[in-house]
Amino acid sequence: MLSLEDLTSIERIVAIDAETTGFRVPSPAEIKKMPKGLRLPGVVIEIGCLELLRNGDDGWKAGESWQRRIQPGGPVSKASIDVHGINPAELKNAPSFRDVLDEFEAFIGQDVLLAHSAENEMEFLNFEYARAGRCGFDEMIFGATDFVCTQDLSRQFFPGVPGSLDVLCDRLWVDRSDRFEHHGALLDAVLTAEAFMKMAGGFVQDDTRYMSFGDQ
């Protein structure tokens, strides 16, 4: 993953988050064993992005956002619904990932992506790109050098502390009250961006909290 030092000459970053069906992405080895012609259901049901623009030498500011609900073509687990509150009925007329792909790519461009637990977002995106026919299931469109991970950064700033987004927000006094009931792709992208901006901006250690009301 990229570090803060790698961003010195970067002018735009896109914070990204995906809400999912709750089912894991099958491995390339598992997919090879499946019957030919089998159409795999997707995992992403909502994707949210927020651009961050360079603001001075060390700072960042929020810019435009982009969000879409996505029809996965398969079931959504109850455990996942409990987290994000997105009912399958709400996705009935939503576009597929392939349908929004051009729009998504136009928004993110070739810029660095920012995510919390970025490995998850990489896995989801690479799988959906393969389903859309943009690459093979054993190929990667997105890799570690495309992402900055706020979970990795949080472990550098707060060693030994749980690496969840909730804990990080609480440490940095980022208001996550909108997340108490349900998660959301754009909401989580915004919180990730706010946490990143505080860490990148050189927050004062004494201004952090050493408690958390959750660990999700």
Residue 208 clears pLDDT 80, i.e. is over it: no
pLDDT tens digits, one per residue of 64-102: 999 999 999 999 999 999 999 999 999 999 999 999 999
Residue 92 phi, psi (nearest 5): -55, -45
Residue 213 clears pLDDT 50, i.e. is over it: no
pLDDT tens digits, one per residue of 14-41: 999 999 999 999 999 999 999 988 999 9
Amino acid at 93: N
Residue ranges making up the domain that contains 28: 4-207
Separation CA 57–CA 54 (nearest Å): 8
Task: Give kind and range of the element (H or E) at residue 28.
Answer: helix 28-32
Between the two ends of the chain, the Cα-to-Cα distance in Å is 22
Q: What is the DSSP letter of 73?
A: S
Average pLDDT over residues 117-130: 98
Around Cβ 173, how many Cβ atoms within 10 Å? 12
Looking at the DSSP bridge assignments, the partners of residue 60 are 54
In a domain, 213, yes or no: no
Residue 205 clears pLDDT 70, i.e. is over it: no
- Specify whether the CB–CB gap between 174 and 209 falls below 8 A: no
Percent of the chain with pLDDT over 70: 93
Separation CA 78–CA 82 (nearest Å): 6
Separation CA 33–CA 121 (nearest Å): 25
Tokens linked to 199: 């860490």
In a domain, 61, yes or no: yes
- Specify whether the CB–CB gap between 186 and 64 falls below 8 A: no
pLDDT interval class at 57 (50, 70, 90): confident
- Specify whether the CB–CB gap between 140 and 126 falls below 8 A: yes
User: Measured in whole angstroms, how far is the alpha carbon of residue 83 from the centre of its chain?
Assistant: 15
pLDDT of residue 216: 42
In a domain, 212, yes or no: no
Instruction: Give Cβ neighbours of residue 144 (< 8 Å, ≥ 6 apart).
Output: 1, 2, 118, 122
pLDDT of residue 37: 84
Q: What's the total number of domains in the chain?
A: 1
In a domain, 215, yes or no: no
- Domain containing 184 — which CATH number? 3.30.420.10
Percent of the chain with pLDDT over 90: 86
- Backbone CA torsion sign across 24, 183, 65, 165: negative
- Specify whether the CB–CB gap between 96 and 73 falls below 8 A: yes
Average pLDDT over residues 165-176: 95
